[in-house]
Amino acid sequence: MPDQPAASGYRYVDLGGEMPPMYVRRFSLGERCAAVTLHAPIELTDGDEAERGAPALARAVLSIGPRLVAWDEMLALDLHPGESMLLARAALDALLDLTLIDGGACPVCAAG
């Protein structure tokens, strides 16, 4: 996650209940959209749900329109009809601006 999510363009969303909070950075062009979502941020120190704006680890997801893009599709992204290459590129750039780690290298997962 970015050190300062709000300064990096992410909006904090907490739906309450059993749903964990998330950060969303949206890109739009007319009626088209793309987004990077950082799901269920957890604190690196103890693995608990992160406080708003705290340094954390989160699952990153890329979506173009309503479609979630799998990690293995990102290097050779095929756009569907109605999707924008400009928005896809902006969202991919935002994703690459994050410090990404492989799931097997997750310090929280390894501790559990």
Q: What is the pLDDT of residues 14-33, one digit of tens each?
A: 888 888 889 999 999 988 99
**What whole-number distance in Å separates Cα of residue 38 and Cα of residue 49?**
13
What is the pTM for the complete model shown? Answer: 0.83
**What whole-number distance in Å separates Cα of residue 38 and Cα of residue 57?**
9
Q: Is the pLDDT of residue 111 over 70?
A: no
What is the residue-averaged pLDDT of the chain? 85
